[in-house]
Amino acid sequence: MSIERYIRTIPDFPHPGIMFRDITTLFADPDGLRLAIDQLVDKYQGQSIDYVAGIEARGFILAGAMAHQLGAGFLPVRKKGKLPWSTIERSYQLEYGEATVEVHDDAAKPGDRVLVVDDLIATGGTAEAAIGLIGQLGAEVVGAAFVIDLPDLGGADRLRDQGIDVFRLCEFAGE
């Protein structure tokens, strides 16, 4: 069964010319959510993953369920200022400026195997920042998984160029 059928496309959001891929419809449908989690988990079953790192916010939904199914811990990658303990941070460029994500400085340790998960990869800046943070902790990034890839924006290729194994459930052309 196709994941794409559960994803709503909203034209001209948040700006004219953008085709927004809304996965809240996927999350709201029990069959769609189960299908997405099962397909993501199947890819990584048996790979000795210590943590599934979810990127705020929709990545949390996927990563928490995946961590449970994989018998791994959940590692939140949050927007700056949201974590209550000592953190490390990394900034990245957006179309309209800069953003920063952070993790606790004790979220993972050298030798830990971490899978990075988010709902969508576009230009790859957020995922790249998350991967950089995990590497800074000394942990190994075993891959990056997404429901949606927007290949025309080049993010998945950017990660692959850095040696990261990228997995996605579907892709949509354009922005």
Q: How confident is the model at residue 11 (pLDDT cuts 50, 70, 90)?
A: very high
Average pLDDT for 146-175 = 95
Q: How far apart are CA 78 and CA 130, in angstroms?
A: 9
For 91-129, how does the pLDDT look when each residue is reduced to its tens digit (9 = 90+)?
Answer: 998 877 899 999 999 999 999 999 999 999 999 999 999
For 44-76, how does the pLDDT look when each residue is reduced to its tens digit (9 = 90+)?
Answer: 999 999 999 999 999 999 999 999 999 999 999
Q: Up-side HSE of residue 50: CA atoms within 13 Å toward CB? A: 12
Between the alpha carbon of residue 133 and those of residues 46, 120, 127, 136, the distances in Å are 24, 19, 10, 5
Report the relative pairing of strands 8-11 and 19-22 from DSSP bridges: antiparallel
State yes or no: is 140 an active-site residue. no
- Return the pLDDT at 175: 64
Catalytic residue among 5, 21, 95, 158: 95
Catalytic residue among 58, 78, 90, 168: 58
User: What is the domain partition of the chain in residue ranges?
Assistant: 48-171
- Return the pLDDT at 97: 82
The terminus-to-terminus CA distance of the chain in angstroms comes to 24
Q: Is the separation of the CB atoms in 101 and 56 below 8 Å?
A: yes
Tokens of 125: 């800046």
Cβ atoms within 10 A of the Cβ of 175, count?
14
State yes or no: is 58 an active-site residue. yes
Mean pLDDT of the chain: 96
Fold topology of 48-171: Rossmann fold (3.40.50)
